[in-house]
Amino acid sequence: MKQRNLYQDLSNRLGKLSNLPKMKDDGKSIASLLEEHGVSRRDFMKWAASMTALLALPASFSPLIAKAAELTDRLPVIWLHMAECTGCSESLLRTDAPTIDSLIFDYISLEYHETLMAAAGWQAEQTLEESIKKYKGRYVLMVEGGIPSGKSNFYLTVGPKGQTGESHAKEAADNALAIFAIGTCSSFGGIQAAAPNPTNAQPLYKVTKKPVINVPGCPPSEKNIVGNILQYILFGTLPALDAYNRPKWAYGKRIHDQCERRAHFDAGEFIQEFGDEGAKKGYCLYKVGCKGPYTFNNCPRVRFNQHTSWPVQVGHGCIGCSEPDFWDKMGPFEAPLSDRLYHTVFGGLGADATADKIGETILTVTALGIAAHAAISIIKKPKE
């Protein structure tokens, strides 16, 4: 019954969206666009079904998802680059064969994206100004990168007027319909915000008062980016978020609980050192530093590059890249947290000491619990 109501709500909302004037008045729907690109209705529905599953909605919602995608052409998108490495933009370029995700992205009308746009200099700046004005309150803002802020905002300037990145981000956020922080830098500050944060780089939510949906990952998979656009169109509000404003559908589960090597953890079968016999057998990576137990993301299910692989599959532990401050909290990346002997941030204290002296309690207790299991399971391991 409850599900029925939700379905009804979504239908109503989509109905309202349908009645909004279209941004491009060419009378074309995304369906005809898909057809032009050789994507059949059937392929599109299949894709919609897989996105439905990914969004953790019941299968009966597929038709709604498809409808939502068809409505995306009402949404202009502005993508800003702050202090970043362009890895998130690159991730977006890896959209799925048969090119359907990139198509969707094209169709939401990418107004400003410095890596892809043809215009430069004055003409680029003009595009940004005009887009913000023309689509005021109607565009989706996506921001990649941390933002040098406050007295340090001069560490990034953009455009012929030498405006700071911070002021660009603020203005674009103030006039946006919805705001997504794409990647860990924009969500949590990222690598440039790692201690001692020399440029005072801040996450997007610190420079705007408006709500920001965080889509962390270094970089996030293209599925997580596209899924979030759909999430917004469907619900018209912020999606269900966790404590770090991450959509629960993507970041609701621990890597460790979804991991293909989990059985080896439970059986106490660990790689002791890279390249050993355990590594050849695909044993658990915990003892060589896997941070899967402390990391929430859908990498084991969705993987990267059209499901080609993910770090654990190529024999390396998770480094916790979608968690806040992971650069400072998850290192060293190739040793268990409980073995940490030195660390920049907390002045070389071991994790055990950290719990007492700094109060990073929860993380550490978890670390110790997991470590205890890793140690005990070896002792308890039944003889073969």
Partner 1 sequence: MSKRIVVDPITRIEGHLRIEVIVDDNNIVQEAYSSSTLWRGIETILKGRDPRDAGFFTQRICGVCTYSHYRAGIIAVEDALGINPPLNAKLVRSLMNMALYLHDHPVHFYHLHGLDWVDVVSALSADPHKAADEAFKYSSNPIACGADSLVETLKRVGDFVKKGNLGPFANAYWGHKTYRFTPEQNLIALSHYLKALEMQRIAAQMMAVLGGKQPHPQSLTVGGVTCIMDLQDPSRLGEFLTKFKEMADFVNRAYYPDLVMAAKAYASEPSVNAGLGTANLITSKEFLVNGNEYLFDGGVILNGDISKVFDIDEAKITEEATHSWYADDEALHPYNGKTNPKYTGFKDEETLNGKGKMENTKVIKENEKYSWVKSPRYNGKPMQVGPLANIVINYAKGNKRVTKVVDQFLKDAGLPLKAVFSTLGRTAARMIEAKIVADNGLEAFNSLIQNLKVDDSTYTSYQIDKNKEYKGRFLGNAPRGILGHWVKIKNGVIENYQAVVPSTWNAGPKDAKGVRGPYEESLVGLKIADLSQPLEIIRVVHSFDPCIACAVHMMDTKGNELSQYKVDLSCFY
Contacts of partner 1 in 32-51 (CB under 8 A): 36-38
State which of positions 319-338 bind partner 1 (CB under 8 A): 319, 327, 331-335
Given 48, 104, 140, 158, the residue binding partner 1 (CB under 8 A)? 158
Pick between residue 50 and residue 157 the one whose CB is nearest to partner 1: 157
Q: How many residues bind partner 1 (CB under 8 A)?
A: 98
Please give the structure tokens belonging to residue 288: 């060589």
Please give the structure tokens belonging to residue 232: 């917004």
298 contacts partner 1 (rule: CB under 8 A): no
State which of positions 254-293 bind partner 1 (CB under 8 A): 273-276, 279-280, 282
Between CA 259 and CA 317 the distance in angstroms is 11
State which of positions 194-213 bind partner 1 (CB under 8 A): 194-199, 201
159 contacts partner 1 (rule: CB under 8 A): yes
- With 0-12 / 13-18 / 19 or more C-beta atoms within 10 angstroms meaning exposed / middle / buried, residue 340 is buried
The β-bridge partners of 146 are: 83
- CB of residue 23 vs partner 1: minimum separation in angstroms? 7
- With 0-12 / 13-18 / 19 or more C-beta atoms within 10 angstroms meaning exposed / middle / buried, residue 123 is exposed
Cα dist from 108 to 67, 132, 223, 253, whole Å: 14, 15, 16, 29
26 contacts partner 1 (rule: CB under 8 A): yes
234 contacts partner 1 (rule: CB under 8 A): no
- CB of residue 384 vs partner 1: minimum separation in angstroms? 22
Q: Check if the beta carbon of residue 264 is closer than 8 Å to that of residue 270.
A: yes
State which of positions 70-89 bind partner 1 (CB under 8 A): 81, 83-89
26: which residues sit within 8 A by CB, 6+ positions away?
none
Instruction: Tell which residue, 17, 160, 176, 166, has the closest CA to residue 111.
Output: 176
- CB of residue 51 vs partner 1: minimum separation in angstroms? 18
191 contacts partner 1 (rule: CB under 8 A): yes
Torsions phi, psi of 88, nearest 5? -70, -40
Pick between residue 251 and residue 304 the one whose CB is nearest to partner 1: 304
Q: Which stretch binds partner 1 (CB under 8 A): 40-48, 290-298, 304-312, 358-366?
A: 304-312
Using DSSP's 3-state secondary structure scheme, residue 34 falls into helix
Given 6, 53, 124, 368, the residue binding partner 1 (CB under 8 A)? 124
Between CA 350 and CA 59 the distance in angstroms is 48
Pick between residue 32 and residue 361 the one whose CB is nearest to partner 1: 32
Q: Which stretch binds partner 1 (CB under 8 A): 50-58, 98-106, 231-239, 245-253?
A: 98-106
